[in-house]
Amino acid sequence: MKKFLFSVMTIAAALACHAQTLEKMQWFNEPEQWKIENKSLTMNVTPQTDYWRISHYGFTVDDAPFFYTVRGGEFEVKVKISGDYIARFDQAGLMLRIDHENYIKAGIEFVDGKYNLSTVVTHHTSDWSVITLDKPIPFVWIKAVRRLDAVEIFYSFDDKEYTMMRNAWLQDNCPVMVGVMAASPDGNGFKAKFDCFTIKHLTDMRRLEWLKNNKSGQ
C-alpha cells in the first residue's frame, strides 16, 4: 500500500512539473505575428518596444511582448532562448512581473555588436547589469529561482552547468506573472524563439521549517 501511494504521489508530482503548456499562457502586448509549434514559441518582436522605468534615460516604457502565466509562492522557471538580433538593445529573456513598477527581466541583449547576458531589476526605477560575452552564441538557457523575497538568476550554454548572474529582491507572498519577453527598443523588430519553457513548484521554505519544528507524534 505504501509503495502504491508513493508511486501515485511520484506520478502526480511529475505531472505537476510538466502541467504548464504554452497553449495555456496569455499575452501582454501581443505581437502581430507569433506561433506555437513543437512546444516552441516564435515571435516577430514588435518594433521600438521595451520595459524600462525612469532612471538614466528619463522615460518609462511598458509595451514589449510578454507571454506569461501566473504563479504564487516559490518556483523555478527556465527557458532556452535564441534570436536573430539586429539592432542595438534587441533582447529576449524571462520576466517575472508583479506590476508595472515591480519586475525583473533577464536574458540575452545585443549591444553595439556584442552579446550580453543582461538583467534589469525594476522597483519604481530600473537598473541594468550586464555580462559581456566574448563571442556570439546560438542560444542560451536562462533560469530563475524564486525563494522567499529573492530571485536568483542563472545562465547556461548546455542546460547542465548553470552560473549565477544576479540575485535580486522581489516581494514575496504575492502572485507573479512569469514568462518570456522580447523587446526591440531601437530597432524594427527581429525574430525570437523560446524552447523548453518549464516551471517547477518549490515548497515554501518557511512551511518546511514550520513542519520540522512541529512534527506530529504519529
Q: What is the pLDDT of residues 49-67, one digit of tens each?
A: 999 999 999 999 999 999 9
pLDDT at position 217, please?
Answer: 57
72 C-beta neighbours (distance < 10 Å), count: 12
pLDDT at position 17, please?
Answer: 41
- The predicted model scores a pTM of 0.88
Q: C-alpha cell of 49?
A: 518596444
Q: C-alpha cell of 116?
A: 550580453
Q: What CATH number was assigned to the domain covering residues 2-202?
A: 2.60.120.200
CA distances from 142 to 3, 133, 146, 154, 173 (A): 36, 15, 13, 6, 23
Rounded distance, CA 49 to CA 184, Å?
5
Q: C-alpha cell of 42?
A: 516564435
Rounded distance, CA 104 to CA 77, Å?
13
> Is residue 98 packed enough to be buried (19+ CB in 10 Å), middle (13-18) or exposed (0-12)?
middle
Q: C-alpha cell of 109?
A: 541583449
E strand residue ranges, 3-113: 26-28, 33-37, 40-44, 51-53, 60-62, 66-71, 74-83, 90-99, 102-111
pLDDT at position 21, please?
Answer: 84
For residue range 17-37, what is the model confidence (pLDDT) as tens digits? Answer: 444 789 899 999 999 999 999
pLDDT at position 202, please?
Answer: 95
Per-residue pLDDT of the chain (218 residues; tens, 9 = 90+): 444 334 434 444 444 444 478 989 999 999 999 999 999 999 999 999 999 999 999 999 999 999 999 999 999 999 999 999 999 999 999 999 999 999 999 999 999 999 999 999 999 999 999 999 999 999 999 999 999 999 999 999 999 999 999 999 999 999 999 999 999 999 999 999 999 999 999 998 888 889 999 987 55
Rounded distance, CA 153 to CA 119, Å?
8
